[in-house]
């Protein structure tokens, strides 16, 4: 596995790959890798000749400096995992490499960035768009892989790709959420949970799944309130939002349509903020 830390290094290797007419699959990450990330790499390996992973904790998408400082980092473990999954190149730039000067670009996402995560994390998705667009321009992959756990982020990246970067011809692939045995969606932030908080965290998906299965018994407002109240019963958990949204425009629905509606949640488990979502089928 090749490790590149500068754009110049990376472009040197990618030139050889493109000359050999190999297809490139790209998995952008912020490190602290887990089985969810590894599943994206497996998908890329199955569909491309060559897989590239980036590890970059992007300061532009953190609206809370404490959250940025606490974000887990362990490059040695990450590199071992990537080697075991047959990653071909890993790109690990420093902040100055990706932001040699302030990025002042502002993206318009036609409102899908203003709900849910966007409502509570101002500027978050603009920061995501800044770094993803930079990485897409550098790597120019055939396909890029993202996990459905970040449901709204996938919608943002699809919009970015279609409306701002169509000339790159990148195919965005959304992959299934990978869960622990008790249902908790795998996340780098899970490493920050105490033993007690980790036990509580499993309740989030269990409650979402229960109400997704029985959605026909409730109105949308009742569903949101029932989920919120049940999660908040746990001493460690506090709901930030529960929303029931249209899969296309991410707006709150007035009526649930199976296969076209998703329940989304953001919950504080102690001081750790967790997100999850369940599609209604």
Torsion sign, CA atoms 95, 117, 163, 45? positive
Name residue, tokens 């969606």.
Answer: 185
Report d(CA 241, CA 264) in Å as an integer: 8
Please say if 34 is a catalytic residue: no
Give residue for tokens 């089985």. 35
The answer to whether residues 112 and 126 touch, using CB atoms and an 8 Å cutoff, is no
Map out the domains of the chain as residue ranges.
2-175, 188-276
Question: Does the reported pTM lie above 0.85?
Answer: yes
CATH architecture, range 188-276: 2-Layer Sandwich (3.30)
Cβ contacts of 104 within 8 Å, gap of 6 or more: none
CATH architecture of 2-175: 3-Layer(aba) Sandwich (3.40)
Q: How confident is the prediction along the chain (281 residues), in pLDDT tens digits per residue? A: 999 999 999 999 999 999 999 999 999 999 999 999 999 999 999 999 999 999 999 999 998 888 899 899 999 999 999 999 999 999 999 999 999 999 999 999 999 999 999 999 999 999 999 999 999 999 999 999 999 999 999 999 999 999 999 999 999 999 999 999 999 999 999 999 999 999 999 999 999 999 999 999 999 999 999 999 999 999 999 999 999 999 999 999 999 999 999 999 999 999 999 999 999 99
- Which one is catalytic: 37, 124, 198, 273? 37
């Amino acid at each position: 596995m090749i490790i590149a830390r500068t754009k110049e290094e990376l472009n040197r290797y990618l030139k050889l790959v493109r000359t050999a007419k190999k297809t490139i699959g790209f998995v952008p990450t912020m490190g602290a890798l887990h089985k969810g990330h590894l599943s994206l790499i497996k998908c890329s390996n199955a569909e491309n000749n060559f897989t590239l992973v980036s590890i970059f904790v992007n300061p532009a998408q953190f609206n809370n400096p404490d959250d940025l400082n606490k974000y887990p980092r362990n490059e040695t473990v990450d590199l071992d995992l990537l080697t075991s999954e047959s990653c071909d190149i890993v790109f690990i730039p420093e902040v100055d490499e990706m932001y040699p000067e302030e990025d002042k670009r502002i993206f318009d996402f036609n409102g899908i960035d203003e709900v849910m995560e966007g409502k509570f994390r101002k500027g978050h998705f603009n920061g995501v768009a800044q770094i993803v667009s930079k990485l897409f321009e550098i790597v120019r992959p055939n396909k890029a892989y993202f996990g459905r756990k970040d449901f709204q982020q996938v919608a943002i990246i699809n919009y970015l790709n279609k409306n701002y970067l169509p000339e790159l011809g990148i195919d965005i692939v959304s992959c299934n959420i990978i869960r622990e045995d008790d249902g908790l969606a795998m996340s780098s932030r899970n490493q920050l949970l105490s033993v007690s908080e980790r036990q509580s965290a499993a309740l989030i998906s269990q409650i979402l799944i229960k109400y997704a299965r029985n959605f026909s018994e409730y109105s949308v407002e009742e569903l949101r309130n029932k989920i919120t109240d049940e999660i908040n019963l746990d001493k460690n958990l506090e709901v930030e939002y529960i929303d029931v949204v249209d899969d296309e425009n991410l707006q709150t629905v007035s009526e649930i349509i199976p296969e076209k509606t998703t329940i989304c949640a953001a919950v504080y488990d102690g001081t750790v903020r967790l997100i999850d979502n369940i599609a209604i089928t």
